[in-house]
Amino acid sequence: MAIVVGVVAETSPGERRVAMAPGAVSVLNKTGAEFIMESGAGLRAGFPDSEYVEKGVRIAAGREEVFRSAEVILQVRGLGANPQTGGADLALFRSGQTAIGFGEPLTALEAARRLAGGGVNFLAMELMPRITRAQSMDALSSMATIAGYKAVLIAADSLPRMFPMLMTAAGTVTPARVLVIGAGVAGLQAIATAKRLGAVVSGYDIRTAVKEQVESLGARFVVLEMESGAAEDKGGYAKAMGEEFYRRQRELMGGVLAQQNVVIATAAVPGKKAPILITGEMVARMAPGSVIVDIAAERGGNCELTRPGQTVESGGVAIIGPLNLPSTIPYHASQMYARNIATFLKYLIKDGKLNLDREDEIVRETLVTYAGEVVHPKVRELLG
């Protein structure tokens, strides 16, 4: 019997992505997996049902049929990442079924408890370990790439000046100065995009090890004279630092910020509130017409004036706190996410069956609930 994989439409408000794109279906063909999909699930991302049918996907009459038929359910935003409407799916899941998707497991603890209570095995894509063999499954990095790109477009659209230097009959237009805070995947993509648009770009990160990457993209690496110590955890993510460190950082950063036209803030620590790196005082030193795009807004923001999902103006400076940027470019976001999730699922299928081997590092790190229990050590610890 072939393993049946179900794809459902996203119900989270404003979510336009889909967990499986037609092009990624072929990744799983050799495993013998069969697909069933809720009709219209890919439409908002730009993928009509007909494209899936061409790839051998069976289109279900409704959502219930997908849950009834599938052994594995693929989602972009599972219960924890969809607090508004995700609960409706709990009644459709059956014990022993496996769900894979984003689920905010380190903050949406009640969702993990409820999934375990329903006997659902849940694998969280955001817990994918940053190791070489899991690179092609790293959905967080894929989505961060899109967020970094889109943040710069938002900034360029909101700035009352142009990004590139132009020599015109009316004189020379000076280029915009852009500072990107945080040189992770989103930050590096933001640097590359701003550079392509012709801005003078600088990048800052507490991890001095990324200096080379920032400079390789043609940006200047900002060095603040302070001790960052071990600013990276063993998973390659930025680590939360002490309050004294952030205070000193803000002090030194104020002077750098005052010279910028655009600031893209991307500093986030998984499962924690984003650190405040830009104070109201620092914003007051910026020239009117400047723009801050805070893509850490979903985690509270790097600027203390950020309001998630809103644009705030302070002293002529616009502070933009966009939410769910990958969903604004749903076609490519879905393609990238689908490739990540399909590669992960292919890795889990052994001899036509789903094999959740808890000795395996990739499984161990991503498995949140299993056989009616919350099994992830970090999540268990947070649940007390």
pLDDT digits (tens, 9 = 90+) for 156-185: 999 999 999 999 999 999 999 999 999 999
* pLDDT tens-digit map of 293-344: 999 999 999 999 999 999 999 999 999 999 999 999 999 999 999 999 999 9
Q: Are 334 and 47 in contact (CB under 8 A)?
A: yes
Angle, alpha carbons 136-19-7 (nearest 5°)? 130
Q: For residue 248, what pLDDT band results from cuts at 50, 70 and 90? A: confident
Q: What average pLDDT is seen over the chain?
A: 93
| Distances in whole angstroms, Cα of residue 355 to Cα of each of 27, 71, 260 | 17, 12, 52
Q: Say which residues have a Cβ less than 8 Å from residue 250's Cβ, sequence separation at least 6.
A: 276, 277, 278, 279, 282
| Distances in whole angstroms, Cα of residue 256 to Cα of each of 50, 177, 253, 340 | 52, 11, 5, 37
* pLDDT tens-digit map of 5-16: 999 999 999 999
pLDDT value at residue 245: 73
pLDDT above 80: residue 249: no
pLDDT above 80: residue 360: yes
Distance (Å, rounded) from C-alpha 151 to C-alpha 46? Answer: 22
pLDDT value at residue 272: 86
Q: Both tokens of residue 145?
A: 């790439």
| Distances in whole angstroms, Cα of residue 298 to Cα of each of 81, 102, 103, 152 | 11, 14, 14, 17
pLDDT value at residue 242: 67
- According to DSSP, the residues that pair with 5 across neighbouring strands are 35, 72
- According to DSSP, the residues that pair with 74 across neighbouring strands are 7, 100
| Distances in whole angstroms, Cα of residue 272 to Cα of each of 4, 202, 247, 301 | 36, 26, 18, 11
What is the secondary structure of 62-117 as a DSSP string? SHHHHHHH-SEEEEEE-GGG-TTTGGGGTTT--TT-EEEEE--TTT-HHHHHHHHH
Q: Both tokens of residue 139?
A: 């959905």
Q: Are 295 and 186 in contact (CB under 8 A)?
A: yes
| Distances in whole angstroms, Cα of residue 315 to Cα of each of 255, 319, 331 | 17, 11, 37
pLDDT value at residue 322: 98
- According to DSSP, the residues that pair with 312 across neighbouring strands are 319
Residues of the chain above pLDDT 70, percent: 96
Residues of the chain above pLDDT 90, percent: 87
pLDDT above 70: residue 241: no
pLDDT above 60: residue 211: yes
Least confident span in 114-123, 230-239, 293-302: 230-239
Least confident span in 63-67, 231-235, 299-303, 378-382: 231-235
Burial classification of residue 157, based on how many CB atoms lie within 10 Å of its CB (0-12 exposed, 13-18 middle, 19 or more buried): exposed
The residues annotated with a catalytic role in the active site are: 130, 135, 138, 141, 237
Q: Are 357 and 363 in contact (CB under 8 A)?
A: yes
Q: Both tokens of residue 379?
A: 């999540």
pLDDT value at residue 206: 85
pLDDT value at residue 1: 79
Question: Phi/psi of residue 329, each to 5°?
Answer: -125, 65
Domains of the chain, each with CATH number or no CATH: 4-127+330-371 (3.40.50.720), 144-327 (3.40.50.720)
pLDDT value at residue 268: 86
Q: For residue 253, what pLDDT band results from cuts at 50, 70 and 90? A: confident
Cα radius of gyration rounded to whole Å, the chain = 22
